[in-house]
């Protein structure tokens, strides 16, 4: 459904996007993660036909964003990170204007508008002026606007930014509903745990390069070699420390005697971890607990981008 091929965008000597390659199937919810200025909005602007790439191309449902922008616009619903509204329009008029802008007939708009307002929980605000709506309501109205022509692909740039927790939850619920409708959704967010919960695939972009792509578990797998293990040992801390220090896959051992804990980085697979535990017990080390430190998406992001910087 979305096929990005060697997408590059340069502003003078600055490279905002560097040969980005990405393929997304229909119905996938893709979370785009990256620091500010990493290239997320540039990618979305190109996909939304607002910006021409310096080289490369992107295809939405087989249509080129460079050569067939008008066809692409029929396929996408775009919600920018910052947007304004027309102050003097009411919510239904706002949707009506964009419906007409997408070439929908008055009869079609008349049927669609109440349905969309219901989808985003704004039926009660139908005849309110848009500028009187709260930030969260405006975000939801903008989302409804992006759906008015029933696009196959939704491009949502930071849809939850600036929202309070309640509005964020409401937005997330709507997105889940859209996912159930089979829409292909590209979403960027700084609220990484939210993406993890909602997205089928995650892409991490840093300095214009896609440095990781896959489902959340796959990306976490990339960090397996660096997982942090905490072992609790009854007495015999020194013996335990000496045993683990001999293992070449273990590094950065840290002892916390008051908690009977040894913490270390382990680079092995899950099976190797099982073997390590068995060997430790056979060596007479009284281990009564072995736990793996939980790494959420933020840790993954920090680790990956730190690695990219180091390169």
Partner 1 sequence: MMERFSNPVLSKELKLRFRAFKSFSGLMFYLAVLCIFVAGFLLIYTRFSGTAFFRPSDSFTMFVALSVIQMGLVMFITPGLTAGSISTEREKQTLNILLTTTQSSTQIIGGKLLSSVAFLILMLIAGLPLYSLVFLFGGVSPSQLITIFLFYLVTLIAIGSIGIMFSTITKKTIVSMIATYGAMIFLGGITAFFFFIGISMEQMAIHSATGLAQNATPFSPITYFCAGINPGALIITILYPEMASSLESAVGISMPIWIVYLIFYTLLTVFCLFVAIRKLRANMKTNR
Q: Which residues bind partner 1 (CB under 8 A)?
A: 45, 48-52, 66-67, 69-70, 73-74, 76, 78, 80, 82-86, 88-89, 93, 97-98, 100-103, 105-106, 142, 145, 149
CB of 73 to partner 1, least distance (A): 5
Instruction: Choose between 98 and 266: whose C-beta lies nearer to partner 1.
Output: 98
Instruction: Choose between 52 and 252: whose C-beta lies nearer to partner 1.
Output: 52
CB of 32 to partner 1, least distance (A): 18
CB of 89 to partner 1, least distance (A): 7
Burial of 235 (0-12, 13-18, 19+ CB in 10 A): exposed
DSSP 8-class letter at 110: H
* Non-local CB neighbours of 242 within 8 Å, separated by 6+ positions: none
How far apart CA 137 and CA 21 sit, in angstroms, is 35
How far apart CA 282 and CA 86 sit, in angstroms, is 73
CB atoms within 10 A of CB 222: 16
Q: What are phi and psi of 186, to 5 degrees?
A: -110, 125
CB of 20 to partner 1, least distance (A): 18
Instruction: Choose between 34 and 80: whose C-beta lies nearer to partner 1.
Output: 80
CB of 134 to partner 1, least distance (A): 17
Instruction: Choose between 102 and 228: whose C-beta lies nearer to partner 1.
Output: 102
How far apart CA 280 and CA 32 sit, in angstroms, is 42
Instruction: Choose between 77 and 268: whose C-beta lies nearer to partner 1.
Output: 77
Instruction: Choose between 52 and 269: whose C-beta lies nearer to partner 1.
Output: 52
Does residue 264 contact residue 250 with C-beta atoms inside 8 Å?
A: yes
CB of 72 to partner 1, least distance (A): 9
Q: What are phi and psi of 246, to 5 degrees?
A: -75, -20
For Cα atoms 191, 18, 193, give the angle at the middle one, nearest 5 degrees. 10
């Amino acid at each position: 459904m979305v096929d990005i091929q060697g997408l590059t965008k340069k502003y003078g000597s600055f490279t905002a996007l560097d040969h980005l390659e990405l393929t997304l199937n229909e119905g996938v919810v893709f979370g785009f993660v990256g620091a500010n200025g990493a290239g997320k909005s540039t990618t979305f602007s190109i996909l939304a036909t607002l910006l021409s790439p310096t080289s490369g191309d992107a295809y939405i449902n087989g249509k080129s964003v460079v050569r067939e922008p008008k066809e692409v616009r029929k396929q996408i619903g775009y919600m920018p990170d910052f947007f304004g509204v027309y102050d003097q329009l009411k919510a239904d008029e706002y949707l009506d204007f964009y419906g007409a802008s997408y070439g929908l007939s008055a009869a079609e708009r008349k049927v669609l508008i109440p349905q969309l307002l219901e989808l985003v929980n704004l039926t009660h605000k139908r005849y309110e002026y848009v500028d009187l709506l709260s930030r969260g309501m405006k975000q939801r109205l903008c989302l409804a606007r992006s759906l008015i022509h029933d696009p196959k692909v939704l491009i949502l740039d930071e849809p939850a930014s600036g929202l309070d927790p309640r509005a964020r939850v409401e937005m997330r619920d709507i997105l889940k509903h859209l996912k159930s409708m089979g829409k292909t959704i590209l979403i960027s967010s700084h609220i990484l745990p939210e993406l993890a919960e909602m997205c089928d695939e995650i892409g991490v972009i840093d300095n214009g390069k896609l440095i990781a792509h896959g489902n959340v578990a796959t990306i976490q797998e990339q960090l397996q070699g660096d997982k942090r293990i905490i072992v609790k040992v009854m007495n015999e801390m020194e013996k335990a420390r000496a045993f683990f220090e001999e293992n070449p896959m273990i590094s950065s051992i840290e002892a916390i005697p008051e908690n009977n804990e040894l913490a270390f980085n382990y680079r092995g697979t899950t099976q190797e971890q099982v073997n390590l535990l068995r060997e430790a017990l056979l060596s007479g080390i009284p281990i009564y607990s072995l736990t793996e430190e939980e790494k959420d998406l933020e840790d993954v992001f920090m680790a990956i981008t730190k690695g990219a910087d180091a390169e």
